[in-house]
Amino acid sequence: MASELKDIPIRSEATRAVVDGPRKLAAAFGKELSLASRSVHADDYINNHQAVAPPMHVSTTFRYNRDPDQLRPWDNLNPNAPYDSHVYSRDSAPNTTRFEAILTSIIGAPCLSYASGLAAFHAMIVFLNPKRVAIGGGYHGCHGILKIMKKLNGLEQLELEDDNDLAKLQKGDVIHVETPLNPTGEARDLAYYRKKADELGCYLTVDATFAPPPLMDPFQYNVDIVMHSATKYFGGHSDMLSGVLAVRPDHAEKWVEALREERLHLGGVMGSLEGWLGVRSLRTLELRVKRQAETTQNLVDYFAQQKAEGGNLVADSVFKIQHASQQPEAKDADSWLRKQMPNGFGPVFSLWLQSEEQAKRLPSKLHLFHHATSLGGVESLIEWRAMTDPKVDKRLLRVSIGVEAWEDLRDDLLQGLQALKDEGY
């Protein structure tokens, strides 16, 4: 856990509802429980019914107290359910509150949910209101948000990996790091960018979508805000759309309430059904992510070995394999990469085939991989990435590994490559 939640001053009941539970759970045991236990129990304190499974509430509005003397603006405390009291769902609602409570516990910082990952990124940029943002490659949607902001207020987008561009940053600007990187699964050094941000007086924000708990804790590097597209691993079943912002605990007293108020007016709130699905999904987060990361590592190791040996189907078909485990630092136990991702690397990697035609046709030859965009679900996906990112190299396939047996996924890819070869590709 990045910081003790008990140290966060809480002013609003809405924020208290997502912080008090983790505090009480830790106090009951005198220690921090495991990620798996917190994923299942971090929201128990909200329960006000005998049902074990959380109910789904679809109401958008909630009755005020019948006692006129108890009426206070934007405060609708129900003494029978103090952690499940709400006014209007654009501010808070039962299912999204539970989702945020679990995330607050497992990430170790106060969390707010949003309608999508891009809604979260947009809210973060609006809140920090920089004049300049340094951003690298990564998800093209974030670049699209910055393009819109440029139209509105002249925001300047700078290249993260260009020292001349970084030198243009000034106090209050943003360094935004996506790690691991979309679509390659390669990692970036957060300690390096924290140092740069400190030197320049900038905020450091991180998109950690590709490395959810337990794979990485960006707050170990004093990141100011961590964002996730919760659609991916937090959702985990390809059936919900959501985004999350986690605020560094020593910023929380002022930032969380300000973000909550801005969310109320921006309107990018998560729906109640998605909140319910999110709670269900987080119960198995550690189980899924560990399995997916292990399977991915087995596959990447196999294909890398085949590529290195040469004279085989993989070597003849695959031009390049990209993944954090293939970076030089992965072999050094004392490297920044191994310290940043001590529990394994992400479940996404990229395969570059020898030609555009091979890359375009391989997905149609596979049986266990769905040819679709997105990632993080229990089912394995493969995408000819040019379908949704026109700027990417046409030979690149993004591979998102699910929970299937790695040997089955290996065999499926091999038979697909063989089918291409048999057809003359």
Residue identified by tokens 């429980």 is 33
Q: Which of 1, 9, 52, 49 is nearest to 25 (CA)?
A: 1
Look at residues 184, 16, 6 and name the one whose alpha carbon lies nearest to residue 108.
6
Task: Give, for 296, the enclosing helix (H) or strand (E).
Answer: helix 285-309
Q: What is the pLDDT of residue 8?
A: 54
Cα 113 versus chain centre, distance? 11
| Domains of the chain and CATH, by start | 5-284 (3.40.640.10), 286-422 (3.90.1150.10)
**What is the pLDDT, as a whole number, of residue 2?**
45
User: pTM (2 decimals)?
Assistant: 0.94
Helices (H), 81-137: 94-107, 117-128
Return the amino acid letter for 201.
G
Cβ atoms of residues 139 and 232 within 8 Å = no
Asked if omega into 9 is within 30° of 0 (cis), the reply is no
The amino acid at 348: V
Q: What is the pLDDT of residue 23?
A: 74
Q: Which residues pair with 132 in a beta bridge?
A: 156
Tell me, what DSSP letter sits at residue 2? -
Ordered strands of the 318-322 beta sheet: 318-322, 348-353, 396-400, 381-384, 370-371
Structure tokens at 289: 């992510």
Q: What φ, ψ does residue 62 adopt, rounded to 5°?
A: -135, 140
CA 261 to CA 255: how far, in whole Å? 10
Residue 56 one-letter amino acid: M
User: Which residue blocks in 333-424 are alpha helix, DSSP H?
Assistant: 336-340, 356-361, 406-422
How far is the C-alpha of 104 from the C-alpha of 60, rounded, in Å?
23
- Strands in 126-214 per DSSP E: 132-135, 156-159, 174-178, 203-207
Instruction: Provide the token pair at 2.
Output: 């990045």
Beta bridge partners of residue 114, listed in sequence order: 243
- Beta pairing, strands 174-178 & 225-228: unpaired
Give the span between the Cα atoms of 403 and 412, in whole angstroms. Answer: 14
Q: Do residues 110 and 256 lie in contact, with contact meaning Cβ atoms separated by under 8 Å?
A: yes
Below-70 pLDDT ranges, the chain: 1-17
Write the DSSP symbol of residue 331: G
For 81, the 3-state DSSP assignment is coil
Contact 303, 351 (CB under 8 A): yes
